[in-house]
Structure 1
Amino acid sequence: MKAYIFPGQGSQFPGMGKELYDSSQQAKDLFEQANEILGFRITNVMFNGTADELKQTNVTQPAIFLHSVVMANIANINPDMVAGHSLGEFSALVANRTLSFEDALKLVAQRASAMQKACEINPSTMAAILGLEDEKVEEICESIDEVVVAANYNCPGQLVISGSNEGIRIACEKMKEAGAKRALPLPVGGAFHSPLMDPAGKELAEAIEKTTFAAPSCPIYQNVNAQPSKDIETIKSNLIAQLTAPVRWTQTVQNMVADGASTFIECGPGKVLQGLVKKIHREAEVGIAEG
């Protein structure tokens, strides 16, 4: 069975999407439609912007979503199951026909705006911890008198933590003392998948309730619980909960494999998820969506 997977923030790069735009009329039409929906030429930032410009949450999220969905459309994919890493869940929901391209892009833009506001209310960040057991990372986070939580269970030995700037600084020191190979602050705008994103939850919930969700063509394995779902109400509530809950990517891939996935095709910029899948399940075949 083929599983199609969609990346989240961190996979952006300057020039992203330009090759797709130049080589396919179908891609060009979708990019131009996105410019119109968003009310600014996101293609200018994607194709010509700096890494810093692309790092802004309200640019990064729609840019990665757009790149991913355009790739999936050109490849004309027909997935048996889908999953997305954080933001990637919205791309996955277009791939399994739960959301239209236009509605999903509007939701992504609203989500990014709400998260950007939450970042401004609570200056915060994230860090990647390499080479420590999940349980040890969780234990250290709990011992700190600041907001610090496990945010992304990416693969065995790689966990991202999220929290206040001071909390992450203290946590990185403690992780190194505990034997972490690396404790690396990430170039992100805030503490995603932590309680500090709570202010964004209400805004996203209101936007989701106003959006039409159709019956999925195949199950989506969601970040919050790593379980497959085709139930629209469950999908909606998981999308909202995802803002403050951890991304259980390791468990998601394990469950997809247990349910018959043998090939994982990544749709979007970069190859981050392919690398994570191979670390979680060495026998899996991985690749990128091609038109």
Structure 2
Amino acid sequence: MNAIKQIRIKTLKLNEGFFNSLRCNYIHSSLLFRNSKKDDADDKNKPDPSDEKPRESPLKKLLEDAASFEDVKTRNIEQKWATLPYGESAKIQKQGEHFKKEKKDPRDSTIILFPGQGSQYVGMANDLLKFPLVKDLFDLASYILKYDLLKLCLEGPKDQLEQTKYCQPAIMVSSLAALERLKEERPNAIDNCVATAGFSLGELTALVFAGAIGFEQALQLVKIRAESMQLAGEIHKGGMVRVLYGPDSELKQACLKAREWARERGDDLPECRIANYLYPDCKVVAGSTSALEFLEKNVKEFKLKKVSRLPVSGAFHSDLMIPAIKPFKKALEKIKIEDPVISVYSNVDGKRYKNADHIRRQLPKQIVKPVKWEQTMHVLYERDVGEYFPRTFECGPGGALRTILKQVNAKAWDHCISVPV
């Protein structure tokens, strides 16, 4: 029997403060695992991902894994807090209560952003280990993933960390660990948070932070998401390019022509479209291999400034990711989702999630729909002339979101800080 199931948790005395209601979904899971380790001698030696030969899970295996999520209802009631977003005795704060908070002086409120795939690097999280509970957070993640996640983050190897199935869990856990640093150094930043958003994978991190999904189940969901997206990239070969362009550029026409080119050359699923809206005059385009080659060879014809290939294993946020949807949806059906306690913004349309059902409907779409980050930033930071901006914190590796924010809204960028990992 799973060691976690053997633990009986006594009554938890949770503060009703906003910070505890936000962080208990993953911190309490971390504490549970710390206790379970004492009784689980068989779990001392976890498999090292560096010893594992690269091998993709077949679609059938992914579907089986997705269907194997344990139903929360079957767990003993004493352990419910380990997977639900809130402790049984914690007061659940609904979004409506936080709309009132957004009306106060913007200088007294904060927004927290979480990065996505591509922000990873070997050595990330090293500066976070001195903060309380970070090691426990990684230990729990390693227990769930069945490999040493912290070692992979700290030591690599780089080529393995960059694989989709490894980097997505690594980025999510490192981002949540960065919250521990923020909590220690600037506790008011958590208490005064009124909204959150995440780029692609980072949206799931934001939902964990906002109390919509418990850490344990979110990590299992990210594992399925990452593995299925990596498999989809093998089924339909493709990639992504960053495109810089100007007012006279013909990016839309270039994508249409590239798609036709790919179709003529026999691509099984010719694709070429904007996958990430980053900032004015900069987009990321995803497409099949032939389509991207066409773009790279015809930069001048369509008056594009620059086309740069990105080091990714697939055409994320495009129709080439369709094979990833079924395993992800199957896994999503098995998890508990709550209404977020603060505003969380969807990549699909840049709008705030209304409730748990809305989250469940939108998340599968996010895999194949463009990330409307630029639009989301406009919604988050729309201000009247003379109105103050909130303090923004980017929690996670890379610092790319702060850089993008400068291009979208320089005044908001003036009040943005990247939390070191």
Q: TM-score range, shorter-chain basis? A: over 0.9
**1:115-138 deviation per Cα after TM superposition (whole angstroms, max 9, x unaligned):** 111011112110000134598322
- Amino acid aligned to 1:15: G
The residue aligned with 2:394 is 266
Q: Is it true that 1:24 corresponds to 2:131 in the alignment?
A: yes
The residue aligned with 1:286 is 416
Shift of 1:278: 1.2
Q: Is it true that 1:195 corresponds to 2:319 in the alignment?
A: yes
The residue aligned with 1:36 is 143
Alignment of 1:116-195 (within 5 A): 116-132=230-246, 136-144=250-258, 145=260, 146-195=270-319
Q: Is it true that 1:95 corresponds to 2:209 in the alignment?
A: yes
Aligned equivalent of 2:173, options 66, 73, 89:
66
The residue aligned with 1:6 is 114
The residue aligned with 1:235 is 359
Could you tell me how far apart the structure 2 residues matched to 1:268 and 1:103 are? 20
**Structure 2 length as normaliser, TM-score?**
0.66
Of the two, which has the highest radius of gyration? 2
Q: Percent identity?
A: 35
- Amino acid aligned to 1:66: V
User: Structure 1 residues 195, 135: CA separation in 2 closer, same or farther (over 3 Å shift)?
Assistant: farther
**1:17-47 deviation per Cα after TM superposition (whole angstroms, max 9, x unaligned):** 12212x1241011011110010111222211
- Amino acid aligned to 1:62: P
Alignment of 1:197-212 (within 5 A): 197-212=321-336
Could you tell me how far apart the structure 2 residues matched to 1:262 and 1:178 are? 39
Corresponding residue SS for 2:371: coil
Corresponding residue SS for 2:179: helix
Structure 2, unmatched stretches of 5+, are: 1-108, 184-189, 261-269
Shift of 1:206: 1.0
Could you tell me how far apart the structure 2 residues matched to 1:169 and 1:75 are? 43
Shift of 1:169: 1.0
Could you tell me how far apart the structure 2 residues matched to 1:53 and 1:16 are? 14
**Contact 2:389-2:411 at 8 Å conserved across structures:** no
**Segment of structure 1 superposing worse, 7-16 or 127-136:** 127-136
Corresponding residue SS for 1:275: helix
Aligned equivalent of 1:246, options 370, 380, 385:
370
Corresponding residue SS for 2:284: strand
Structure 1, unmatched stretches of 5+, are: none
Could you tell me how far apart the structure 2 residues matched to 1:102 and 1:73 are? 17
Could you tell me how far apart the structure 1 residues matched to 2:273 and 2:249 are? 12
Could you tell me how far apart the structure 2 residues matched to 1:56 and 1:134 are? 37
Corresponding residue SS for 1:175: coil
**Contact 1:225-1:248 at 8 Å conserved across structures:** yes
**Segment of structure 1 superposing worse, 215-224 or 167-176:** 167-176
Could you tell me how far apart the structure 2 residues matched to 1:133 and 1:193 are? 25
Shift of 1:176: 4.1
The residue aligned with 1:75 is 182
**Contact 2:132-2:180 at 8 Å conserved across structures:** no
Corresponding residue SS for 2:133: helix
Q: Is it true that 1:255 corresponds to 2:383 in the alignment?
A: no
- Amino acid aligned to 1:272: A
Shift of 1:107: 0.7
The residue aligned with 1:110 is 224
Shift of 1:177: 3.1
**Contact 1:4-1:83 at 8 Å conserved across structures:** yes
User: Structure 1 residues 127, 134: CA separation in 2 closer, same or farther (over 3 Å shift)?
Assistant: farther
Corresponding residue SS for 2:153: helix
Could you tell me how far apart the structure 2 residues matched to 1:277 and 1:17 are? 23
- Amino acid aligned to 1:107: L
RMSD over aligned Cα atoms: 1.8
Shift of 1:49: 0.9
The residue aligned with 2:66 is none
Could you tell me how far apart the structure 2 residues matched to 1:141 and 1:166 are? 12
Shift of 1:215: 1.9
Could you tell me how far apart the structure 2 residues matched to 1:124 and 1:57 are? 14
**Structure 1 length as normaliser, TM-score?**
0.94
User: Structure 1 residues 121, 24: CA separation in 2 closer, same or farther (over 3 Å shift)?
Assistant: same
- Name segments (4+ residues, structure 1) moved above 6 Å: none
Could you tell me how far apart the structure 1 residues matched to 2:248 and 2:171 are? 28
Could you tell me how far apart the structure 2 residues matched to 1:258 and 1:16 are? 33
Could you tell me how far apart the structure 1 residues matched to 2:181 and 2:199 are? 21
- Amino acid aligned to 1:113: E
**Contact 1:151-1:245 at 8 Å conserved across structures:** yes
